[in-house]
Amino acid sequence: MNHSTTTKKSAAAGIAIIAWIALIVQFYLIQQTTNITGYSTLKVTTNYFSYFTILSNLLIAVSLTSSVVAPSSALGSFFSKVTVQTAIAVYIFIVGLVYNTVLRGITTLTGLEWIVDNMLHVLVPLLYVLYWFIFTPQKVLQWKNLAPWLIFPAVYLLYSLLRGPMADWYPYPFLHAGKFGYGQVAINSVFVLLAFLLAGLGAIAWNRQGKASER
């Protein structure tokens, strides 16, 4: 194992640990809200896994863990693909971008809640995007890789809009059709997908420039 591989595995392990800690603590904290919200444990748990932030951080935790613990497994091989790693980088980049430009400050957080919130929305996104920049081989991605990356956020938006009225709960204010109406929410959703599109285009453009990396 060369120095570069060791450094990459160490970085992956470190980011995975941070992501798992943030996810587990956030899950614990959200379970404590049942007495306040009146929601059942099942609904609180479902709500937890209905945040794009949680899903993106979970993808990072699982992908990096599998690449360190079982790189030759089916899961490890899947998450070692540059296209998959880039898709995750795009997702978590948008998580950080939207939260810190649109959603930050909507809810006042203190103590452990504030720490975990910033781990999920700032620290993990920053670390994973840096990880992607440093360790992703150049000249690998193609423009055709972009379309499949948009499926996950598109399905997520559809899921959120369908579940929202049934659960009387929306993960993000800009998706609240009951408050803003489906017309405005549709416009908001288009802008969100456009952000994913532009981020994906930027990632591919960056990867295609420069010299091909030795693998």
pLDDT single digits (tens) 89-118: 999 999 999 999 999 988 888 999 999 999
In angstroms, the CA 136 to CA 80 distance is: 10
Quote the pLDDT of residue 210: 65
> What share of the chain in percent tops pLDDT 70?
96
* Residue pair 99/172 in contact by the 8 Å Cβ criterion: no
The C-alpha angle with vertex 89 and arms to 88 and 95, in degrees rounded to 5, equals 90
Which one, of 210, 194, 215, 209, lies nearest residue 97 by Cα?
194
DSSP letter (8 states) at residue 70: -
pLDDT in tens, 10-67: 999 999 999 999 999 999 999 988 777 788 889 999 999 999 999 999 999 999 999 9
